[in-house]
Amino acid sequence: PMSQWQYAMNRTLPDDIYVNNVVTVDDDFHCRYDCVGKRYRYKVYQAQQRDPFQSGLKTFIPEPLDLDKMNRAAQQFIGTHDFKGFCSKKTEVESKVQT
């Protein structure tokens, strides 16, 4: 069953990568070119002193965080963007514009 694939992959992947779901796809599916999205989660914590129990799990920020500014900045990632500047000249990707 699919749940066994998920379990097996999560047992062998590094701790910072986790498989949330496994589904059956067509034989001609290409994981690079047919992917419809990726999700990244960045974890930070703000404190006066570093917490050794958070090391490797979250990024330590000693300065106060301005969540309003962070949310406004995050809005810049929404929409359609040209990622040509992030691509290698040897890339096989034809369209560097992504939503």
Backbone angles phi and psi of 91, in degrees to 5? -60, 145
- Over residues 46-87, the pLDDT tens digits come to 999 999 999 989 999 999 999 999 999 999 989 998 888 887
Which structural domain, as residue segments, surrounds residue 43?
2-98
Stronger pLDDT, 85 or 43, i.e. the higher one: 43
Please count the structural domains in the chain. 1
Global pTM reads 0.51
**Whole-number Å distance between alpha carbons of 25 and 74:** 32
